[in-house]
Amino acid sequence: MNMAGKTSVNGESNGKVHRKVGLVYDETMCKHDTPHGEAHPERPDRIRVIWENLQLAGVTQRCVVLGGTKAEDAHLQLVHTKDHVNLVKSSTNKKDYQSDRIASLVNSIYLNRSTSEAAYLAAGSVVEVAEKVAKGELDSGFAIVRPPGHHAEADEAMGFCFFNNVAVAASYLLDERPDLGVKKILIVDWDVHHGNGTQKMFWEDPRVLVFSVHRREDGGFYPGGDAGSYNMVGEGPGEGFNINVPWEQGRCGDADYLAAWDHILIPVAKEFNPDIILLSAGFDAAIGDPLGGCRVTPYGYSVMLKKLMEFAQGKIVMALEGGYNLDSIAKSSLACVQVLLEDNPIQGSSEEIPFMSTWRVIQAVRKRLCAYWPSLADELSSKLINQKTPTPIVLTSNSNSEAKDNAHELLDQLSKLNIETHKVDTKVSTSWRSDLSKVDVWYASFGSNMWKPRFLCYIQGGQVEGMTKPCVGSMDKSPPKGITWGTYPNRLFFGRESTNVWGKGGVAFTNPLTNPNDQTHMCLLEQFNDVLFQENGLNVDFASPIFGLTALQLVEKNGSTPLEADLAPWYGNVVCLGREGDVPILTMTCTLSVIEKFASGEVPLSPPAKAYANTLIRGLVEGGIFSEEEAEAYIDDAASKPLYINGASRF
């Protein structure tokens, strides 16, 4: 297959005409790293493995290879404030990068003396490729850059990003190079996270159509809040030129993404008819990604890209954003470059079908945007949307997970599940897991579904009622040293309007702050990290501990420690409730900032659904804490009292 028309001919030895594809790789961008070599998913090897894999596959020789180019301040300032540019620039001369720790915990960034140089190179390289593609010197290109860009806002670095590389390039073409004739730009952001920065920068700009597909989970997934909602369509002249496709759940794969392409992006792109496409190409929706929790395969990425090549005469500029599984990003990148080179047909296939929630989201997006894009107006045929995978019962985020209680419903659901989504990965090799398993900690749960059989199962492996899939078992399979209950002066409450699994009604949280008038009864178990790991359904090749020895020290010192919001959107706070003997008692709940939102009513308090309340009650009764009536009264009380922030920190 050979569609390289027009001017760009790249002479190959066999005389075949190839598309001219640019690649930027510059080792200098590997110098941006954590200040003291701490493990971090956004690490230098990400771009190295992509590059090495392209070399290994022999595709780099068939591309135009460019070194990095540093961005000009004037170009950065097309989308960033002068202060922000200066702040990043001056970070080179800092003495103490450790002092940025607070900012980094809040905003998911880190800095070292090479951060500024790498950030200038990342932005400048995307500008360089975009300019060459717009000129026609290249047909398309891939800037293999880091740090990533799409979370960076005009005046703020966040989410591992400093400069919004793609936004800088888009503004450069539109504002600085009218001679190149680029009047309309489509930005496609398939990174698993919402491109909040890009959205803001072109919010009122009809020249740039920003499309982002991302995991959102009702605002619980990074970067959170309302920004990634499908209601955010742009404003003023830009109204209708911002499109969000927010997944309600993880595990979305090729079928879900391609459904969003076929029923939203592609019809809109036809109407918009862009002059060039800039692709915020994060590969953290890839299968195996430790942050994304989605399942897109290299084949899926190839098809998505191929469909975009039908527009703008194939003028596509890919810029790397996220993607944290080295193997996945290397393979996905190669698959994409092969599509850009367009010299062999796409290999592979997918038999998956979209989730129910995917059709729900796609329909909502179409409805919200059809006034601007008439091709979205038709109802999707029922034949189409009836092809769907039932949403599995998921342990979304927490210790007090939202598993189904009702045995009949459970069996019914399980029997409908796509087996593929429930494969158990048995190769548990990661050494970090063993560290914490040697340390004694008590894990305090609300006594809900973490009743004895479930807990033992997390140690031994297998599957018991209320589990959505078999679990791999602990590193250390010896039985727990104890199971007991404790009562703590913390307020139990129920919040959120609904959850994927439990439907309408809140789930349990405990206020990290103590108050002598409050009581929460907790069931204490050992093997904290394995429980965390297994309850959150994390990938076994996750390279660093969700909660390792350092985090344990922090909890013991500070009383709590936040977790990566991606791993535990709602229960992202590990809190130390005290000690039993020498052994710390840890639990998971939300952060104080979320407690404030519950207390102010910004996030609703809501009593639990019946099935969920019953699970809690059963735990309390089986634990010998309460009679059934007492347990009911305890839950009712916690579910009906208002929440005040009147607590004290234990530490």
CA dihedral 229, 230, 231, 234 (to 10 degrees): 100
CB nearest Zn ion: which residue?
Answer: 322
Closest CA to 250 of 216, 213, 214, 293: 293
Inter-CA distances, 296 with 282, 331, 395, Å = 11, 11, 20
Which of 43, 146, 151, 200 touches ligand X5A by CB under 6 A? 151
Cα(497)–Cα(199) distance, rounded to whole angstroms?
27
160 binds ligand X5A, rule: CB under 6 A:
yes
E-strand spans in 515-572?
520-525, 560-562
| β-sheet bridge partners, residue 484 | 524
254 binds ligand X5A, rule: CB under 6 A:
no
Which residue's entry shows tokens 């593609």? 133
Residues 539-568 that bind ligand X5A (CB under 6 A): 564-566
CA 354 centroid distance within chain: 19
189 binds ligand X5A, rule: CB under 6 A:
no
> Minimum Å distance from CB 361 to ligand X5A?
20
| β-sheet bridge partners, residue 242 | 210
Inter-residue contact 283 to 289 (CB < 8 Å): yes
Which residue's entry shows tokens 């956004």? 42
> Minimum Å distance from CB 26 to Zn ion?
21
Q: List the catalytic residue out of 32, 151, 214, 521.
A: 151
Inter-residue contact 197 to 151 (CB < 8 Å): yes
Inter-CA distances, 437 with 70, 103, 561, Å = 46, 31, 19
148 binds ligand X5A, rule: CB under 6 A:
yes
**Catalytic (active site) residue 84:** no
Closest CA to 448 of 494, 498, 402: 402
> Minimum Å distance from CB 589 to Zn ion?
25
> Minimum Å distance from CB 564 to ligand X5A?
5
321 binds ligand X5A, rule: CB under 6 A:
yes
Question: Which one-letter DSSP state was computed for residue 262?
Answer: I
322 binds ligand X5A, rule: CB under 6 A:
yes
In one-letter notation, the amino acid at residue 445 is S
Number of residues lying near ligand X5A (CB under 6 A)? 16
Q: Which is nearer to Zn ion, 80 or 193 (CB)?
A: 193
Q: Which is nearer to ligand X5A, 193 or 366 (CB)?
A: 193
By a kind-dependent CB cut-off of 5 to 8 A, residue 151 interacts, out of ligand X5A, Zn ion, none, with: ligand X5A
Q: Write the interaction track for ligand X5A spanning residues 277-306; mark x where CB under 6 A is met and - where it is not.
A: -----x-x----------------------
Q: Write the interaction track for ligand X5A spanning residues 201-230; mark x where CB under 6 A is met and - where it is not.
A: ---------------------x--------
By a kind-dependent CB cut-off of 5 to 8 A, residue 222 interacts, out of Zn ion, ligand X5A, none, with: ligand X5A
Question: Which one-letter DSSP state was computed for residue 97?
Answer: G
CB nearest ligand X5A: which residue?
Answer: 322
Strands 185-189 and 208-215: parallel
165 binds ligand X5A, rule: CB under 6 A:
no
- Residue 176: strand, helix, or coil: helix
> Minimum Å distance from CB 291 to ligand X5A?
6
Q: Which is nearer to ligand X5A, 209 or 565 (CB)?
A: 565
What is the binding site for ligand X5A (CB under 6 A)? 108, 148, 151, 159-161, 191, 193, 222, 282, 284, 321-322, 564-566
Which amino acids are annotated catalytic? 151
